[in-house]
Amino acid sequence: MEIWLDTANLETIKRAQQMGFLYGVTTNPTVVAKSNEVLEDLLEKILALQGGPVTVQVIATEASGMIAQGKALYAFSPRIVVKVPVTAEGLNAIHALNKENIPTMATAVFESSQALLAASAGAHYVAPYFSRICEADIDGIQVLKTMLHLLRQYKFNAKLIAASLRTPEQVRECCEMGAHAVTLNEKVFADFIQDHPLTTQSVQRFAKDWETAKKRKSLPL
């Protein structure tokens, strides 16, 4: 299971990196715009803070523009994974970039047929918007399970990364169903790593009991 962060907040990225489980960072045009940073400067900072991949989304709407932007991003750093929306033009771009050995993440995915097409075109990752699927009165769990089944049934190399997660419960649901990866925004990340109250109680009890232990000879305990 890969845990990514969906943010441009450098402090949040640094904290996750220090915890040892951060696999990579996803961004999108909205996240970058909110950072109020020049894209190149922001990417350099994120790449320096952690050693994993960083996704950056193309903004062109035609395949030729997407391909040109994807090549420029990959030239900026080979650790960049190019995010491409699953449109007809986007599928053309994913296929072309894959032939150039440039990794892509198919984004804005809402149904299993899109996942199938993106994987067939050569996408390295498929990113369904889980919470937005659920908000459309569709069984999001079943949609993602079907996507996973298709990826495994036809032995695609693409991984499913669950995106647009709103709660820790949704993160756990995606993990339990076998999603290859999840990407968490700042709020969900903070909630997901929150200390469990029973863990806190246990630590407090250990500390109280330790007060009655014999003095140590040299160990700083």
Q: Phi/psi at 54 (nearest 5 deg)?
A: -135, 130
Q: Are 111 and 105 in contact (CB under 8 A)?
A: no
Task: Please confirm, yes or no, whether 155 is among the known catalytic residues.
Answer: no
Q: Are 118 and 109 in contact (CB under 8 A)?
A: yes
**Pairing between strand 22-26 and 2-6?**
parallel
Angle subtended by helix axes 63-76 and 88-99, to nearest 10: 40
- CB count in 10 Å sphere of residue 212: 6
Q: Which of 84, 116, 88 is nearest to 97 (CA)?
A: 84
Report d(CA 24, CA 51) in Å as an integer.
Answer: 8
- Point out the catalytic residue in the list 83, 145, 187, 214: 83
- CB count in 10 Å sphere of residue 135: 12
Q: Phi/psi at 194 (nearest 5 deg)?
A: -60, 135
Catalytic residues: 83
